[in-house]
Structure 1
């Protein structure tokens, strides 16, 4: 499982999660702001990581009740927010309740679950009528076709590794249609294709650092499993870490939807 390969106990994991938050939080926050949540919203953040989204929700909506959940909550940043609580939730088997939340959020969670489609029914059930679901999921459809032959070969090899783990890194592209079939309405989706550049303090630089740390951590599995050579991974990391390179990175889909009213 994903949490076995990238556990929160790794020395570099807190930094990797912080970089991921820096890269993706702006799009997540903008999406949630468009939903006009009630001031006393009851919110659940699934796979909270360092807790950046849950903390932002609790600060932005001081009258709200926010739950940050994860399989391992040790990485959530310390805070004194009285409206933020922690709860261990395993989306694969735990009951989320019925008509509890005004918002359920997750990022890079569903694509790693073997029951990624089935859990959407539980999420839908947990929402109040009119409640919103926001998810950011990987969408690798374009990265494996360019911008160079080497880049395509490298990410195709990574996708083969992901498939061997049971991950679906193209799930973001399918998610809007699956949400519609699952009973969600008001579905809105935006594909984001970041440009990787390892300089400055931008979201793109944070995304670059996220992938640099992710690939370096997964090197034993990528190389030892025969998915790529050490030279291929070294060359890819040299591109990602080059401050003078501007290279298309893996994409992701930011999707929002609601439980129908009535």
Structure 2
């Protein structure tokens, strides 16, 4: 889930200015997100054909949960897991999993061709998203698929000012100002995949329920706590408001809609 190094509108970088991998508990935070979304991701990848003989590229692989499940459940031939910091990937080696520390925004990044290229919660943090999508599409073998997932903010002008919604607004604004995160363009994924020359393009949206103690609720609580400095800098919240929002997530009074995960895919034509 961790994106690669690059310059951003805010001048900062994911993994350096926020969500540093060396910070205690960061791997656990990433795994909470994986618990919320991995089943949906795996169902889609398998429906698109991921299986025996496939060579796979997992971009921004985080702790490697999708990479390992591709090997164990889809029985793919191999997975190249790419991340700017590979410490979590190297900590749990399995046969067939290769780890590459790299910056995917580097024009010289050329890992080869794959039947499946997958990136989840990566491009939303990169300002060069259209160029990167074009580059990722070039790594897909004829007949193979590119699958991209990112967050979609489902709040709006009519969203009530609950502690949750206030914290979410502060988080998106704070991450945009700090590291350039921008989820407003994510619904254009299908168009961008078509522009990259892919066919059979489609998309779906999954919204996990916010249930006290659930993986997604714990993921957002940890994310707000670790992104607190960026959130406070917006002026929308103070420490007490962040703490209140974290408590709200864990309470039976929580009545809110989580950010969704939009997944879009396209296939490289055979000829």
Q: TM-score, normalised by structure 2?
A: 0.87
* Aligned partner (choices 236, 239, 242) of residue 245 of structure 2: 236
SS in 2 for 1:196: coil
CA-CA distance at 1:184 after TM superposition: 1.6
Do 2:171 and 2:224's aligned partners in 1 also have CA atoms closer than 8 Å? no
| TM-fit CA distance, 1:124 | 0.9
Other-structure match for 1:180: 194
Partner residue of 1:260? 269
Query: Deviation at 1:133?
Result: 1.1
User: Unaligned regions of 5+ residues in structure 2, if any?
Assistant: 1-12
Deviations 1:177-213 (A, max 9, x none): 21112222111211122221123xxxxx111111100
Note the C-alpha offset of 1:253: 0.3
Q: What is residue 170 of structure 1 aligned with on the other side? A: 184
Mapped pair 1:138 → 2:151: yes
Deviation at 1:245, TM superposition (A): 2.8
Are the aligned partners of 1:110 and 1:137 in contact in 2 as well (CA < 8 Å)?
yes
Count of paired positions: 255
* Alignment match, 2:56: 43
Matched, 1:26 2:39: yes
Distance 1:245 1:160 in 2: 22
SS at match of 1:75: helix
Cα RMSD, aligned residues only: 2.0
**How many Å separate the matches in 1 of 2:72 and 2:168?**
38
Q: Does 1:206 align with 2:219?
A: no
Decide whether aligned partners of structure 1 residues 71 and 80 sit closer, same or farther in structure 2, where only a CA change above 3 A counts: closer
In the alignment, the residues of structure 1 paired with residue 210 and residue 191 of structure 2 have an alpha-carbon distance, to the nearest angstrom, of 29
